[in-house]
Structure 1
Amino acid sequence: MTSVAEDLTTDWQRWHDEREATLREPHGWLSLTALEWLDDTARPVADLPGTWRAAGDGTVEITAAASDGVAVDGTTVDGTATVRPVDGAPGVLVTVGERVVELARRTDSYALRVRDPQAPTRQAFTGVPAFPVDARWVVTGRYEAYPKPQRITVGAVVDGLQHFPTAVGTVTFTLEGTEQQLIALAGKGEGLSLHFRDATSGVSTYGGGRILRTADPADDGSLTLDFNRTVNLPCALTAYATCPLPPAENVLDVAVEAGERDDR
């Protein structure tokens, strides 16, 4: 018969293995090799064939010859192709051989990111460091929804850039004997996203904060917070991400020595 601590560690290890497998995917965050901001000048960028430019009408234009091997939606570009990235949405994906080029819109700026399976960060990846699993970091929280979701503004790790996540309520809980509260953001799909800083941020964990994703709250607003499953933002893994910062209110006054670390 296994103990509660053993079950917690076993479940965490399964989750952690899946997390690392996702990071190892050929075109995941570890595959990024470039981040370029486009303007209205058609020019070669990031060692890619053809020319790329932000057209000024909400679109990005790609000009290439068929021999360059650039494809949009599976169709080889032979001349000029136009794509329309959406602010805040996943980027439009363009293939160039085994590389994938992501064209993203951030407010009124347009960025190009290259995802290459041969990226040194992916090839050298040996795993994400984490604190030891400990049951004391599993607590029960209380969720209180806002009357209606609120679009808020937060900064980004890139100076001058902003993100506009949707805040849906607050989560209150006790950690290390002290009551804490975080603004909850809408999760991707189900559940909530808690993006926060704590006393470890910039010391043993990534300075831009970490994220804990939860399941949907129960009907009475209760939910389990397992801080052992706190993860780094992509910016802790690559220099070519544009991660949001936490809401200004989301700072815990305790050292959450749980979840993923940052050993850089």
Structure 2
Amino acid sequence: MTVQTGQDIDRTGFVQAWEEWHRQKEEVLSGPHGFLAITSLRWLSPEPARFDDAPGAWSTTDEGIVVDLAPDEELTVDGTVVRGRHVFGVIAERASVYAGAGDALIEVAKRGGHDIVRPRHPGNALRTAFTRTPTYAPDPRWVLEGRFVADAEPRPVTVGAAVEGLEHVYDSPGRVEFELDGETYRLTVFNGKTPGALSVLFTDATSGVTTYAANRSLQLGPPDADGRVTIDFNRAANLPCAYTDLATCPLPPTENRLPVAVKAGERIPLERGGAA
């Protein structure tokens, strides 16, 4: 793996690659069933409950999540139309399954040990009114070389969540160290979305000023054989909770609160009063 820093980057290609990354991220966020389409966050209990934005009566049982559909109601699960009583089963932590209901998708999931239902409707006003996310202009200065330092064994790290009282537990394989303006900083990392990749949750001195107060995330590629990794703060991204209160996003561990201003990446969304 070649680790690039701001000193050896072709600016034109760099900006084009960043623009494509941001375009793809915005497409996912604002897609017909993206996070902006969520209309409610329902916490299930053993007592069946009906919701005005999803068919059926939903409950959590020893069998897992169950929905009881009225005679005139149906869902589509894995391409099959289901009616009556349907058992989704026990869903793993941070996993989601989806059921179709007309043009909507009903997300059935577990977060922080709790079974939830989150309907996603393409016509939700938050989605239809969305235009774009403000950002800092991409700047090669914010592409840094870091060093991954692995722990002897992965350690569980408990962090808070955007929802008060909720906690998430992630395994951390180690930390990433980097230098900025002559100072060394260290960030606890979690496993990324692909084998060997790493994920970082952090805040910095811009948080709550020009960037979202609670968190931003950064995806890192796998370290090379010497532990070197590229840290591109231009791709510091908002999590869904930056746009909607119907997300259960994790908060950064305490040690990931950087005392410096990272003036790169995504800024406070317009939906939260951010500046255009």
TM-score (structure 2 length as normaliser)? 0.89
Aligned residue for 1:63? 68
Residue in structure 2 matched with residue 185 of structure 1 by the alignment: 190
2:252 to 220, 241, 246: 246
Q: 1:222 aligns with which of 224, 228, 233?
A: 228
The Cα of 1:75 is off from its aligned counterpart by: 3.0
Note if contact 1:85-1:103 (Cα within 8 Å) is conserved in structure 2.
Answer: no
Percent identical residues: 41
Is 1:78 aligned to 2:83, yes or no? yes
CA contact (8 A) 1:129 1:262 kept: yes
SS in 1 for 2:19: helix
Which of the residues 241, 248, 261 maps onto 1:235?
A: 241
- 2:6 matched to which residue of 1? none
Backbone CA RMSD of aligned residues: 1.6
Mapping of residues 33-112 of structure 1, within 5 Å? 33-55=39-61, 57=62, 59-112=64-117
Range with bigger deviation, 72-81 or 22-31:
72-81
Alignment-mate amino acid for residue 134 of structure 1: D
State the distance in 2 between where 1:176 and 1:86 align.
46
2: CA distance, partners of 1:87 / 1:44: 23
Counterpart in 2 of 1:137?
Answer: 142
The alpha carbon displacement at 1:72 in A equals: 2.7
Counterpart AA for 2:87: T
Structure 1 unpaired stretches of 5+: none
Superposed CA deviations along residues 122-178 of structure 1, whole A, max 9, x for unmatched, are: 111111110011111111001111112122211111111111111011100012332
Which of 38, 45, 48 is the aligned partner of 1:32?
38
* Alignment of 1:205 onto 2:211: yes
Deviation at residue 32 of structure 1 after TM alignment: 0.9
Following superposition, the deviation at residue 84 of structure 1 comes to: 2.1
Using the size of structure 1 for normalisation, the TM-score is 0.93
Measure the CA separation in 1 of the matches of 2:141 and 2:34. Answer: 32
Q: Distance in 2 between matches of 1:6 and 1:148?
A: 41
Structure 1 residues 113, 43: closer, same or farther in 2, change over 3 A? same
Distance 1:46 1:156 in 2: 26
CA contact (8 A) 1:156 1:163 kept: yes
Which shifted more, 23-32 or 228-237? 23-32
Instruction: Extract structure 1 runs of 4+ deviating beyond 3 A.
Output: none
1:189–1:37 CA distance, 2 compared to 1 (3 A): same
8 Å CA contact retained: 1:181, 1:250? yes
Among candidates 118, 122, 126, match of residue 127 of structure 2: 122
Q: Does 1:255 align with 2:269?
A: no
Question: Is the CA contact (8 Å cut-off) linking 1:143 and 1:217 kept in structure 2?
Answer: yes
Distance in 1 (CA, whole Å) between partners of 2:53 and 2:91 is 25
Task: Determine which of 166, 169, 186 is the counterpart of 1:164.
Answer: 169
Partner AA of 2:264 in structure 1: A
> Contact 2:142/2:234 (CA < 8 Å) preserved in 1?
yes
Q: 1:30 to 1:47 in 2, by over 3 A?
A: closer
Following TM superposition, by how much is the alpha carbon of 1:10 offset from its aligned partner in structure 2, in angstroms? 1.7
Shift in CA distance, 7/78, structure 1 to aligned 2, threshold 3 Å: closer
Please report how far the alpha carbon of residue 88 of structure 1 lies from its aligned counterpart in structure 2 after TM superposition. 2.3
Question: 1:58, CA displacement in angstroms?
Answer: 5.3
Q: Distance in 2 between matches of 1:14 and 1:43?
A: 43
Tell me the SS of whatever aligns to 1:184. strand
| Counterpart-to-counterpart distance in 2, 1:181 and 1:195 | 12
User: 2-side partners of 1:108 and 1:167: how far apart?
Assistant: 19
- Distance in 1 (CA, whole Å) between partners of 2:193 and 2:39 is 25
| Aligned 8 A contact 1:30 1:121 in 2 | yes
Unaligned runs of 5+ in 2: 1-8
Count of residue correspondences:
261
